[in-house]
Amino acid sequence: METVITYILLLLTFSSSKALDSKNSTQKTYFEKIELNHETRTMKIFNTKGEDIVNARLGHTLDEMKPQSCPTGNQSPGHICLEWERKARLDLHAYELNTTAKCYNFKWTALGGIDSLIDCFQFSDKEHWYGGGQNVKSSFHFDKGFHKYSPFITGRIGDNNWGNLLKRYFISSRGAALLVDDLSPLHTSLNEKQFCLKAQYDDFAFVNHVRRNLELNYTICTSSNTAILHSKLIEDAMWEGLKKQDFENIDTLITEPIWEITTNAAALNEEKISNLGTDIIQLGFLKLGHIFINEFWQKRIGDFTMDPARFSKFENLIHVLHRRGFKIILTIQPFISTESSSFIDAVKKELLISERSCDHRIPALTRYKSLQAAGVLDPTKLEHSNGY
């Protein structure tokens, strides 16, 4: 009897040891704070207190196979590379944002056989997520929203899942921030349990013109202080490359009044602007602020020159307003009327967004306010900085 009991105990010990070894072989720890199960591709990221603040499942479109180290052998203390054979590769980089925050860059690259890359992040009852922009179900913390997969592009709330001002930046109340690279063809889905990122080319929002490999590239930053983390990330994104004069201009736009003449092209002239300045001075403000002039200072939208009929002495008016203490803002927009003198020049230089699936020299036309037909400047064309 004792022999049987001993045998059973040995068998249980062996089974438990085997199960533990199996778990250890699939559960890996990277950079001390990331736990990744190679078999299920579930991931946890921990903060300095040992709390898991990010829970995710990676690679939803991959088969149930374990990854191998990349054949390039380019592993380093701050870099891990895993590859799912002939399917996808994951490059994982770790770095310190500052003394209180760490960041981890996840870069998926499709190698073949899949047309999308998907990572999903689970919500917990202990947190809220913010950012992205206004979505169709929630304008504050978006973890209460809902939508199926759709391109992360601007739209009109009610007709689209996201509003007309977006940023690929999301942050949780527990100290985790998520930033998605601009080159990733990003689609999102959202429900009460999780938020998913999908990289996929399509025929509308993200057309793969140059046939580059599909990538899902994003960075997760963590900190014990959400406010400090947010301030640091936003500060780096907003102020990079700005000069001292740019900072001063931005400060005045925030701290001083902005006065706008809401009128159409025919009614806007030098007299209206001068009279507005006089009326503002009589109000007795300590800081007069800015006079905001809408796009109708041009004869035709897109001319980018003052209408000589209505603003023949505009330079003198500017000097007078400056002496009074005003700053002047002129509205510039990317739309160029087909009747504007600039339109033909922009077409010749191929500066306008073109019709899809057509000759790239053929501009796509749209409407803008009172314009029945207008081209749109393509902000990706470097020539804009020279002539426009």
Q: Which CATH architecture has domain 31-239?
A: Sandwich (2.60)
> Region 329-358: what's the mean pLDDT?
90
What is the model's pTM? 0.72
Residue 26 has pLDDT above 90, yes or no: no
> Region 30-56: what's the mean pLDDT?
93
Average pLDDT, the chain: 85
How far is the C-alpha of 319 from the C-alpha of 119, rounded, in Å?
57
Residue 268 has pLDDT above 70, yes or no: yes
| Fold agreement between 31-239 and 244-387 | no
Predicted pLDDT at 187: 97
Token pair 């602007």 is found at: 273
Residue 382 has pLDDT above 60, yes or no: no
Residue 241 has pLDDT above 80, yes or no: no
Predicted pLDDT at 75: 65
Nearest 5 degrees, angle CA 217-CA 218-CA 219? 140
Q: Which CATH architecture has domain 244-387?
A: Alpha-Beta Barrel (3.20)
Q: Where are the domains of the chain?
A: 1-25, 31-239, 244-387
Residues with Cβ within 8 Å of residue 366, at least 6 apart in sequence: 335, 373, 374, 375, 376
